[in-house]
Structure 1
Amino acid sequence: MNEQRIPRSWLMLALGTGGQTASTTALYGMPFLVPAFQRELGLSLAGAGVLVSCPVIGILLGLIGWGVVADRYGEQKALAVGLLAAAGVMAGAAVVHGVWVTGVLLVLAGAVGSSVHSASGRLVIGWFPPDRRGIAMGVRQASQPLGIAAAAAALPPVAHHAGLSAAFGLCAALCGAAGLAIALFAVDPPRPDRPAGGVRTPAPYRGGHLWRLHGAAAVLCVPQFVVTGFSLLFLTEARGWSPGAAGGVLAVANLAGAGVRLLAGWWSDRAGSRIRPMRLLAAATAANLVLLTAGAAWDSAFATAALLLASGLTVSTNGLHNTAVAEYAGPDWAGRALGVHGMGQHAAVVLVPPLAGALIADRGYTPVFALAALFPVLAVVLLPAADRAAYWPGPRAAGRTPPAEVPR
């Protein structure tokens, strides 16, 4: 065992997770600035919602391009350039005024900041051997609920007391600090050596394995966004909780969701499989959402317990399918594959909030939860029958010939 690589791998994990957390706070924290958008920019709720969607649009535009950059030029360059560029764009948003220019800058921030979605996963996968990648990617994926929690805690009070410009400035500072740390300390993982005159591995999209992973991950995002997007409203409107109590409980539930991702990653490492735990967790999610539907239909307190459990289960597979995609695609293609993977997930959920909100307003929560329960069932069907051997053997196996593409 190369003893020097173990501490370096954890440093790379910390840097990748820090970059993902900073990007999440800045790009996914816009919902917490809706009151400031209305107050300072004079927007309606619908208009503020458009600004909230602007970074997501930018992410969709930038994911595959950043994957190409990470594959060709390395993870460190993609992460550092993307985060520092996002810091510059958010700093620009802090000093300009006007709805249109703010919207354009937020789209641009999403486009440049999306480098973390493609490159940070590569950085983690490349520095960890296969039997530790599940837990490592679970740590990396935990950065998303941590970033949302940071945005919820910091952005509203900053915007309330110091204005929208200060909130954008805080986002810029977080992205800048993460980008600078990566520029100074991140090191690209070793890649398996090729024989003299060797060529890049063939595109991993021959056959349906990756496409089925992309599809399963995309449909699993739908119940996740239904639960996270409407939990607060359900607890306050349907269950009669106070906003403060509901927010506090949901914050704890989201932090518990980060722990669930770690446990799922640990499980996949022990099982030597990403697909089997994903299939079982998707089935458990479907069963949980059926119970939530029944509780909502009968106006039972049981619905509250089911909702809080769903907060963890609906996010439990995030690290697993990202790991499976990167491992199968290998070091030559993982950046692009993760870009396509993230693009599919974002595209799948763009219309979830407005459509689910309209259905709740017209029919209540029961049909929304019932429809959400169908998507993890679809994921079980879409998932590949078995794991495939990875083209990315890990840092301790660098230099070995990639294994054949056969079921484990």
Structure 2
Amino acid sequence: MRVAILESIVMPAGHEVEFDRILINELKRQGHEPVLFVPENFPFKVDYAVDVVYLEGGEVVTYAGASKWKKPFLSILRERRRRNWFTSAAQKIKEHKIDALIIPTGTYRYIKALLDTPLKDSEASVHVIFHGIGKGEMDRFIKQAHRANAYKNLYLDVISLRDDMLRSDLPRVRKILPPVFLPSTELSEEQGNDTISANNTIKLGFFGQFRKEKNIERFIDAFVSLNYDNSVQLVVQGATVKPEDGALFESIIKKYSQYSNIQFIHASLIGKDWDRALLSVDALLLPYGAERYRYHWAAMLFTAIGFNKPVLISPEINPEVLEQYSIGEVLNLDSVNSIGQGIQTFVENLQHNKEQYNQGLMNANEDYSHRALIQSILNV
């Protein structure tokens, strides 16, 4: 099949870039021919090594650097251009003999826009991918899904571990399982991408964007209270965007500088640097739960699974995963003492019961595979 991926989100790196890479690489592996549909002058951050078709309708609209007064205007402009791109895509599907179109990151606004364009009547199947639907979004999603139900080739595919978006009268609203994020093939072969290492040192990793509300100091205080020597180490990476977050992270680095078993990385890690950092640790820490993670799949959790790293995780983060797979432990975040107890139990399990985690990670990788993702989308 010739499968077009319509991407209109500009990101320097991160989830959207990696998700597009998953789609394109797995489509190729399964013998399909992926093609990228993008707005004119689209600023690629990655070379996906596929044909690119440019859509009419204007360039991507971003809010980067815009004042709060300008954002309402940009929002209207973005909605108008989205309709232009969808209209152009409907024509490009015919010109390039496309069998299926995937819109990799959608919201209910995308459905509204799409239904105003000829794309709704496409002879190719059109798949809008939703990365979870929060409690506050559900009613708006269902309203638009009912409108979309009249169009037989339009599929609303929700990446989720929950069933609350499914309706018997909406047969083309479908639940598909999240995919794991994998290290690059070269690094995976270079470092073996082993599950938990057999050496005597346990290295715990906290990775991702640093924000004040993640309250990382409380977790570090709990780790320090356990008085581990260098046989148990902690790596804390913080990618900061706002100057105030950068200053706070630097102050945290200074505060804990006397601990030789704590390493800080104040930098954005992209590509192979990100892969190497994750592969260098034995387990990943996700102690920053928020209620939205019950509804949206957590990219860091599925990164941990793909990199074969057990997790110490907040109870809000996709609880269905740990209920089904023995890949780590849930952390009680009530106090520094409860966090410390959780870390201690987790480290002991890594030292003495690593086989159960290794088996759980193998099972989860099979069920959340890229192969399963593409088959779920294209199997109509």
Task: State the TM-score, normalizing by the size of structure 1.
Answer: 0.23
Larger relative contact order, structure 1 or 2 (CA cutoff 8 Å, min sep 6):
1
Which has the larger share of strand? Answer: 2
Task: State the TM-score, normalizing by the size of structure 2.
Answer: 0.25
